[in-house]
């Protein structure tokens, strides 16, 4: 049985690990857990003229397959709509003026007591 909140803690830890990987690679965090009426984007990052919309999937093991496998066609379509909503909300700002490319990544994180393994699928869809 999974303790209530354990899934949320795993998700938060996965987001933390993915964010560390991006910041080490020179990305700046624009927003975390950005929400609107359509849903939520886990991480929005920027480097140069590239804005990255990142869906983070974290699990405590790979017994059910890789976490990235949970990002199917429906989730991809939802993330595209969310990205459009985010860009519309940022219209007229310095951020929107600087963005030339939007990329959709999936960060697949296996959380364990021995450390967290992060694999980022850049330009995943």
Domain membership of residue 30 (yes or no) is yes
Is the pLDDT score of 9 beyond 70?
yes
Encode pLDDT of 31-80 as tens digits.
999 999 999 999 999 999 999 999 999 998 766 678 888 899 999 999 99
Domain membership of residue 31 (yes or no) is yes
Is the pLDDT score of 5 beyond 90?
no
Average pLDDT of the segment spanning 1-15: 76
More confident residue, 6 or 94: 94
Domain membership of residue 60 (yes or no) is yes
> How many domains does the chain divide into?
1
> Edge-to-edge strand order for the sheet containing 101-110?
28-36, 39-47, 50-59, 101-110, 117-121
What is the CATH classification number for the domain harbouring 109?
Answer: 3.40.1350.10
Dihedral-angle region of residue 117 (phi above 0 means left; psi in -120 to 50 means alpha; beta otherwise): beta
Residue 86 burial (C-beta neighbours within 10 Å; 0-12, 13-18, 19+): buried
Structural domain containing residue 36: 6-121
Domain membership of residue 1 (yes or no) is no
More confident residue, 44 or 3: 44
């Amino acid at each position: 049985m999974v303790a209530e909140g354990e899934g949320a803690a795993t998700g938060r830890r996965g987001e933390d690990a993915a964010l560390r990987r991006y910041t080490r690679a020179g990305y700046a965090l624009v927003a975390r857990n950005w929400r609107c009426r359509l849903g939520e984007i886990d991480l929005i990052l920027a480097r140069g003229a590239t804005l990255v919309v990142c869906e983070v999937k974290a699990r405590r093991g790979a017994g059910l397959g890789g976490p990235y496998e949970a990002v199917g066609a429906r989730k991809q379509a939802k993330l595209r709509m969310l990205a459009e909503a985010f860009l519309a909300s940022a219209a007229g700002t310095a951020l929107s003026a600087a963005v030339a490319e939007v990329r959709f990544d999936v960060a697949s994180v296996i959380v364990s007591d021995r450390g967290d393994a992060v694999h980022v699928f850049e330009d995943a869809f």
